[in-house]
């Protein structure tokens, strides 16, 4: 009689249930795995055979048929080794079948029977909770999986541990909270000298999770500002930390049993491909999803392939990526604050004697950032080179901790209005509800829209930035001065 053990396969950042059905037939000994397995899954037969024999158990001298359902889902990775081994042992009456009915198992087996970690530990735990099952995983994946509340996680070192646990004679070790993933420390906003308007734009960006475009010559502080944006963002909530850790775990970036407790900062090279930005053919998340709830920084943005920049349009609007590939369709989270940086001309020295770029060269260079992409960027600031004397001897500005306090207070005002998302991610229909304009302020908005040639989307984004400025100012209503200041960030 066939035995069914629940396993899982990663699809994007989500774990999907895979039913591992095992049957032992009275035929010539062999192992047959069906159900659209990838090469790593087909090769599991040899790993499973050696691991079972390493436990001191004879491998069944029968035809072992393993069916992976649903059959139309391609199974990648090595996480199905453990449920396959447990299914064979249960079919051979070596472990109680009834104990497997409340279990979700995932893990890679070595030839000696040791269990190796698998990617997506947090996603596996979320799936086990939704099914109301106990999760059996390798010890190195168990700590991250234990972050999910209301789910029992059993940490296993070897296949023998799983067998003994099913028999009721193994007590798993107590799990401790995993450490926070290491991050770059020492980046403080006080290191930036001058650039008052850009610093103000960075603060507004942090308040409303707006997108930011910095235009200026080399050495004026564009990269310094962008890299210090995470230091003034509010700390991650527990739910946000779970989401970020799930994405990084699904991408296989958390091999050391840690979790992401700080907002991510991703700065891909300009040679990145579309697949590297949004997700590849194996349905693993790309740079855009890895920056979820954090910052995506594109330095020298005009040097990025146009196709990479254009693919950002829909995710910047919706905060998610809907990706269709030959292996299926997935949804990646992508609620990011995008920061673009560019030089004013190809050589970067526009306005100086050493610049020989023609107007046509400048137009061709900046035209790589299309209008539809820039129309989705709320804040656009032009920076000037800082005087060397001020750079060396100038007084430092406010530190990140002080600015972060104001940002946290401003976001608290938004939550007090009943907002579930920052101002920069408000749906168009909700903007009118939170932006209360007097007649004079509405007239000012109309005037700025006509004089600036703003599109409907541009006008809506002007109002969103105005709302963030009002929150920083502690004002209930958006006033004319807030709209006037917001218009300064649309000059590019």
Lowest pLDDT segment from 19-28, 45-54, 296-305, 361-370:
361-370
What pLDDT score was predicted for residue 12? 79
CA dihedral defined by 356, 359, 365, 366, rounded to 10 degrees? 130
pLDDT digits (tens, 9 = 90+) for 84-128: 999 999 999 999 999 999 999 999 999 999 999 888 888 999 999
Q: Are residues 433 and 382 in the same domain?
A: no
Judge if the upstream peptide bond of residue 20 is cis by omega within 30 degrees of 0.
no
Kindly indicate the confidence band of residue 290, based on its pLDDT and cuts at 50, 70 and 90: very high
Residue 386 has pLDDT above 80, yes or no: no
Q: Are residues 292 and 430 in the same domain?
A: no
As beta bridge partners, residue 321 has 332
Q: Are residues 328 and 451 in the same domain?
A: no
| b/e code 39-54 from CB counts within 10 Å (16+ = b) | ebbeebbebbbebbeb
Contact 133, 145 (CB under 8 A): no
Q: Are residues 250 and 131 in the same domain?
A: no
Residue 172 has pLDDT above 70, yes or no: yes
Kindly indicate the confidence band of residue 326, based on its pLDDT and cuts at 50, 70 and 90: low
Check which CATH number belongs to the domain holding 466 and give it. 1.10.8.60
What pLDDT score was predicted for residue 102? 92
Q: Are residues 381 and 474 in the same domain?
A: no
Lowest pLDDT segment from 130-134, 254-258, 329-333, 380-384:
254-258
Residue 399 structural domain? 189-419
Kindly indicate the confidence band of residue 154, based on its pLDDT and cuts at 50, 70 and 90: very high
Per-residue pLDDT averaged across 174-195, rounded?
75
Last residue of a domain, one of 419, 450, 465: 419
Structurally, the chain folds into a number of domains equal to: 3
pLDDT digits (tens, 9 = 90+) for 204-217: 999 999 999 999 99
Q: Are residues 380 and 440 in the same domain?
A: no
Contact 41, 68 (CB under 8 A): yes
Is 298 part of a structural domain of the chain? Answer: yes
Check which CATH number belongs to the domain holding 217 and give it. 3.40.50.300
Nearest 5°: the CA angle 232, 237, 242 is 120
Check which CATH number belongs to the domain holding 142 and give it. 3.30.230.10
Last residue of a domain, one of 167, 199, 222: 167
Structure tokens at 67: 């069916």
Q: Are residues 266 and 410 in the same domain?
A: yes
Of 63 and 220, the one with more pLDDT: 63
Q: Which of 52, 264, 252, 67 is nearest to 163 (CA)?
A: 52
Distance CA 360, CA 364 (A): 6
Is 280 part of a structural domain of the chain? Answer: yes
- Name residues whose C-beta falls within 8 Å of residue 359's C-beta, 6 or more positions apart in sequence: none
Residue 492 has pLDDT above 50, yes or no: no
Structure tokens at 368: 């790589």
Residue 236 has pLDDT above 50, yes or no: yes
What pLDDT score was predicted for residue 180? 67
Kindly indicate the confidence band of residue 17, based on its pLDDT and cuts at 50, 70 and 90: very high
Residue 181 has pLDDT above 80, yes or no: no
Is 447 part of a structural domain of the chain? Answer: yes
Contact 77, 16 (CB under 8 A): no
Of 55 and 12, the one with more pLDDT: 55
Last residue of a domain, one of 384, 419, 454: 419
Is 353 part of a structural domain of the chain? Answer: yes
Per-residue pLDDT averaged across 197-207, rounded?
94
Q: Are residues 382 and 344 in the same domain?
A: yes
Of 229 and 349, the one with more pLDDT: 229
Residue 356 has pLDDT above 90, yes or no: no
pTM: 0.83
Is 179 part of a structural domain of the chain? Answer: no
pLDDT digits (tens, 9 = 90+) for 223-235: 999 999 999 999 9
Kindly indicate the confidence band of residue 491, based on its pLDDT and cuts at 50, 70 and 90: very low
Q: Are residues 162 and 46 in the same domain?
A: yes
What pLDDT score was predicted for residue 328? 67
Q: Are residues 236 and 88 in the same domain?
A: no
Contact 218, 348 (CB under 8 A): yes
Is 138 part of a structural domain of the chain? Answer: yes
Mean pLDDT of the chain: 88
Q: Are residues 278 and 365 in the same domain?
A: yes
Is 173 part of a structural domain of the chain? Answer: no
Q: Which of 270, 262, 341 is nearest to 294 (CA)?
A: 262
Q: Are residues 163 and 29 in the same domain?
A: yes
What pLDDT score was predicted for residue 391? 67
Is 176 part of a structural domain of the chain? Answer: no
Q: Which long-range contacts (CB under 8 A, 24 or more apart) does 365-369 make?
A: 365/302, 366/302, 366/342, 368/301, 368/302, 368/303, 368/304, 368/306, 368/309, 369/213, 369/301, 369/302, 369/309, 369/340, 369/342
Residue 327 has pLDDT above 70, yes or no: no
């Amino acid at each position: 009689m066939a035995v069914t053990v629940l396993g899982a396969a990663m699809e994007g950042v989500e774990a999907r249930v895979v039913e591992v059905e095992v049957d032992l037939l009275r035929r010539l000994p062999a192992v047959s795995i069906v159900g659209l397995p990838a090469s790593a899954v087909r090769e599991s037969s040899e790993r499973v055979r050696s691991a079972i024999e390493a436990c001191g158990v004879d491998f069944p001298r029968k035809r072992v048929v393993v069916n992976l359902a649903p059959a139309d889902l391609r199974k990648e990775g090595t996480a199905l080794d453990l449920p396959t081994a447990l299914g064979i042992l249960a079919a051979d009456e070596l472990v109680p079948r009834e104990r497997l009915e409340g279990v979700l198992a995932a893990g890679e087996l070595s030839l000696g029977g040791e269990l190796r970690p698998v990617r997506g530990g947090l996603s596996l735990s979320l799936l086990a909770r939704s099914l109301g099952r106990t999760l059996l995983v390798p010890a190195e994946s168990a700590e991250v999986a234990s972050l999910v509340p209301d789910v029992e996680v059993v940490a296993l070192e070897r296949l023998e541990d799983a067998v003994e646990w099913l028999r009721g004679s193994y007590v798993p070790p107590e799990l401790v909270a995993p450490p926070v993933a290491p991050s770059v420390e020492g980046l403080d906003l006080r290191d930036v000298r001058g650039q008052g308007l850009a610093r103000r734009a960075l603060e507004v960006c942090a308040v409303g999770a707006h997108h930011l475009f910095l235009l200026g010559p080399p050495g004026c502080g564009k990269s310094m500002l962008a890299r210090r944006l995470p230091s003034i963002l509010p700390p991650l909530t527990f739910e946000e930390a779970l989401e970020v850790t799930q994405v990084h775990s699904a991408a296989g970036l958390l091999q050391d049993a840690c979790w992401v407790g700080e907002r991510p900062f991703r700065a891909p090279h300009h040679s990145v491909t579309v697949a590297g930005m949004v997700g590849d053919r194996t349905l693993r998340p790309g740079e855009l999803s890895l920056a979820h709830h954090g910052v995506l920084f594109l330095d020298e943005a005009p040097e990025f392939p146009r196709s990479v920049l254009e693919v950002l349009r829909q995710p910047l609007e919706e905060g998610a990526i809907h990706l269709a590939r030959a292996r299926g369709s997935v949804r990646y989270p992508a609620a990011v604050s995008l920061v673009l940086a560019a030089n004013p001309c190809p050589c970067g020295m526009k306005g100086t004697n050493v610049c020989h770029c023609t107007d046509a060269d400048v137009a061709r260079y900046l035209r790589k950032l299309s209008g539809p992409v820039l129309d989705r960027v709320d804040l656009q600031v032009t920076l000037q080179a800082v005087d060397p004397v001020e750079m060396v001897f100038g007084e430092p500005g406010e530190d990140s901790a002080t600015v972060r306090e104001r940002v946290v207070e401003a976001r608290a005002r938004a939550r007090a209005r009943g907002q579930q998302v920052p101002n920069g991610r408000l749906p168009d229909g909700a903007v009118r509800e939170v932006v209360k304009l007097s007649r004079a302020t509405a007239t000012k908005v109309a005037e700025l829209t006509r004089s600036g040639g703003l599109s409907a989307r541009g006008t809506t984004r002007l109002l969103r930035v105005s709302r963030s400025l009002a929150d920083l100012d502690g004002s209930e209503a958006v006033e004319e001065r807030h709209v006037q200041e917001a218009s300064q960030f649309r000059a590019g």
